[in-house]
Chains A and B, each alone.
Chain A
Amino acid sequence: DAGVIQSPRHEVTEMGQEVTLRCKPISGHDYLFWYRQTMMRGLELLIYFNNNVPIDDSGMPEDRFSAKMPNASFSTLKIQPSEPRDSAVYFCASSKSGGPSTGELFFGEGSRLTVL
């Protein structure tokens, strides 16, 4: 089975531009998480979904950030307008409730964003 798939792997953009990051979770997983990783702040949870419904978005930095999950196999994280301080690696992860793997998150390889 394919793992969590993220795109793009690398994105370089200029301040003020819109950025859209994409994620395809593992089939059958009912939780999806977006994390941001920087040297200064470490790993931060931005938002997570259960059965496509946002459960906790308290980690979303500000209104410039938005996330959607229109169906069980796709999610987007959008930044509009982007700023240099948004430069980070953004990870998507999915998990399945119940069963022996409960609690295990499966991470994608990340999208490295650089805002100039």
Chain B
Amino acid sequence: GNSVTQMEGPVTLSEEAFLTINCTYTATGYPSLFWYVQYPGEGLQLLLKATKADDKGSNKGFEATYRKETTSFHLEKGSVQVSDSAVYFCALRSGANSKLTFGKGITLSVRP
């Protein structure tokens, strides 16, 4: 079956630090991969996505590259801001089954 594994959290960084959040997956077929972000008190919203191998999704300074050989979709940002403090979820969608499989999420806190 499909599964998504995210690194354990929480993560605390200082403003302007470099961010990497690891995500690996197991899936049948050729999944589409997503990162969702949940700001405090809000629902999840799509941050970026990639639909095929070697695609790079990017948004708001965040990037993630679909690596089929390592079954990974790590999220990176070169310089985080306090406003990036949120919970980040990696997810995949594969085949005719249209439900998303989410990872457990990781809380990022950015200190001024």
Contact = CB atoms under 8 A, between A and B. Distances in A.
Contacts of B60: none
Nearest to B98: A31
Given A103-B34, A107-B44, A107-B45, A95 B98 contact: yes
Contacts of B89: 43
B102 A107 contact: no
Interface string A25-51: 000000101000000001101001010
Contacts of B44: 43, 91, 93, 105, 107
A103 B99 contact: no
B81 interface: no
A56 to B, nearest CB: 6
B43 A103 contact: no
A103 B105 contact: no
B17 interface: no
A97 B98 contact: yes
Which size class do A's interface residues fall under?
Answer: 20 to 34
Contact of B99 (A4, A48, A91): A48
A45 B49 contact: no
A12 B66 CA distance: 43
19 contacts: A4-B43, A33-B100, A43-B102, A43-B104, A45-B100, A45-B102, A50-B98, A56-B99, A93-B43, A103-B51, A104-B34, A105-B44, A105-B100, A106-B45, A106-B46, A107-B43, A107-B44, A109-B41, A109-B43
Given A42-B105, A93-B44, A104-B34, 15 more contacts: A31-B98, A42-B104, A43-B104, A43-B105, A45-B99, A48-B99, A97-B98, A103-B51, A103-B93, A103-B100, A104-B49, A105-B100, A107-B43, A109-B41, A110-B43
Interface of B: 32, 34, 36, 41-46, 49, 51, 89, 93, 98-100, 102, 104-105
Interface of A: 4, 31, 33, 42-43, 45, 48, 50, 55-56, 91, 93, 95, 97, 102-110
Q: Which 4 pairs show the lowest CB-CB distances between chains A and B? A: A107-B43, A103-B93, A107-B44, A42-B104
